[in-house]
Amino acid sequence: MWKKEHKRTIVGQLFEKKPIYFLFFLLIICSITKQAEGFGSFRLFPFRGFSKSTEHISVNGIDRKYILHVPAKRKMPSGGFPVVFVFHGGRGSAVSAELMSKMHLLGRDQGFIVVYPEGLYKSWNTDIISVAASEKHVDDVAFFNQLLDRLIAQYKINADKIYICGISNGGHISYYLAEKAGGRIAAFGVVASGLSSEQSYLPAVPKPVMVIHGTEDKHIPYDGGQGVRDRYLAAEKTIQHLIKVNQATAEVLPYQPYPGFQSLPEVNAFYYPGGERGKDVVFIRVNGGGHTWPGGGGYMDKVMGPTSRAISANQALWEFFKSHSRKKGL
């Protein structure tokens, strides 16, 4: 009993004589709480291996939100951090993209920043389909550009290694940004997404692209036609369009999505190299896969269809991304 009272007295005396210690203690507790809940931008613990924050930026006078994951500085490559943007699908949010993909876990390990932007009206404004964001003329290109400018100002970032990807409507905005802001993007990827027509994507400067699509996707049908909301080109017709746009070779080559990948009948990978003049196109067909992120959260499988565990979309996308740099023109 005496020992407990003695210890309490010492702590009390410390806080009484040095109130700054008590304030610092409160800051630590608040930081732990905020980090656990994912709120705020207070990053007191870089030794944890990363910092996570929910941020806001004003674009054309409108408050825009995003979730940011930054690895520890010791993970930073010599040229600065690469950045991967992951865009949520329609009716989604930055949080849903984070939970679905968990791309930030790979970012912490491999040393790249991950950004989960949030669309207004739970959608993205593109020329591919009509959603609330497009009907209200939301300027998502400005959002992307200003957000990227902010990141470059705040962190040591390799501006030649900026990558974007997304699922469904997040794939639509990935196509759209690759066309409208492609000068800033090294490569992009689309998962469970598509084009409404060949005119939906006609970039002046083509970019390397990886497409991942499940054959049992009912929302954006693999074979094209009417989906749950809109009509789309067949996935294979989209790939042929991308090959043409990217001036890639029509001859398909074997492709290993990432080191350690175990080849299974569930996954077929097709590589169309850009060669000296064109840009690479990679198509990963997930046989039996639904409108989902392979290897990601499967909490919506009953609605969206099966989530494949035969391949990790995160690892496949990152392996593709890191082999392409805007500066090198690869």
Q: What is the pLDDT of residues 119-150, one digit of tens each?
A: 999 999 999 999 999 999 999 999 999 999 99
Q: Are residues 82 and 124 in the same domain?
A: yes
In a domain, 104, yes or no: yes
Q: Are residues 218 and 265 in the same domain?
A: yes
In a domain, 264, yes or no: yes
DSSP output for 150-206: HHHHHS-EEEEEEEEEEETHHHHHHHHHHHHSGGG-SEEEEES---SSGGG---SS-
Q: Are residues 21 and 48 in the same domain?
A: no
Q: Are residues 66 and 7 in the same domain?
A: no
Nearest-5° angle of CA 190, CA 175, CA 206? 105
Kindly state the helix (H) or strand (E) to which residue 323 belongs, with its residue range.
Answer: none
In a domain, 215, yes or no: yes
What is the extent of the structural domain holding 150?
A: 38-322
Task: Read off the tokens for 225.
Answer: 């036609």
Contact 320, 187 (CB under 8 A): yes
Nearest to 186 by CA among 170, 164, 167: 164
In a domain, 105, yes or no: yes
In a domain, 327, yes or no: no
Q: Are residues 11 and 42 in the same domain?
A: no
Kindly state the helix (H) or strand (E) to which residue 94 belongs, with its residue range.
Answer: helix 94-101
Q: Is 155 exposed, middle or buried (0-12, 13-18, 19+ CB in 10 A)?
A: middle
Nearest to 214 by CA among 269, 292, 270, 108: 292
Confidence check: pLDDT of 234 > 80: yes
pLDDT band at residue 299, thresholds of 50, 70 and 90?
confident
In a domain, 169, yes or no: yes
The alpha-carbon radius of gyration of the chain (Å, integer) is 22
Q: Are residues 15 and 94 in the same domain?
A: no
Total Cβ atoms within 10 A of residue 318: 23
3 state DSSP class of 109: helix
Task: Read off the tokens for 122.
Answer: 């739970």
Q: Are residues 33 and 87 in the same domain?
A: no
Q: Are residues 191 and 124 in the same domain?
A: yes
Q: Are residues 279 and 292 in the same domain?
A: yes
In a domain, 330, yes or no: no
More confident residue, 11 or 74: 74
Confidence check: pLDDT of 32 > 90: no
More confident residue, 274 or 1: 274
Q: How far is 63 from 77, CA to CA, in rounded Å?
A: 32
Confidence check: pLDDT of 328 > 60: no
Q: Are residues 26 and 54 in the same domain?
A: no
Confidence check: pLDDT of 36 > 70: no
CATH of the domain at 92: 3.40.50.1820
Q: Are residues 186 and 85 in the same domain?
A: yes
Q: What is the pTM of this model?
A: 0.86
Per-residue pLDDT, 86: 98
Number of domains in the chain: 2
Q: Are residues 113 and 204 in the same domain?
A: yes
Per-residue pLDDT, 95: 98
The model's pLDDT over 177-218, given as tens digits with 9 standing for 90+, comes to 999 999 999 999 999 999 999 999 999 999 999 999 999 999
Contacts of 23 (CB under 8 A, 6+ apart): none
More confident residue, 22 or 237: 237
Q: In whole numbers, what is the pLDDT of the chain averaged over residues?
A: 89
Task: Read off the tokens for 38.
Answer: 């994912």
In a domain, 328, yes or no: no
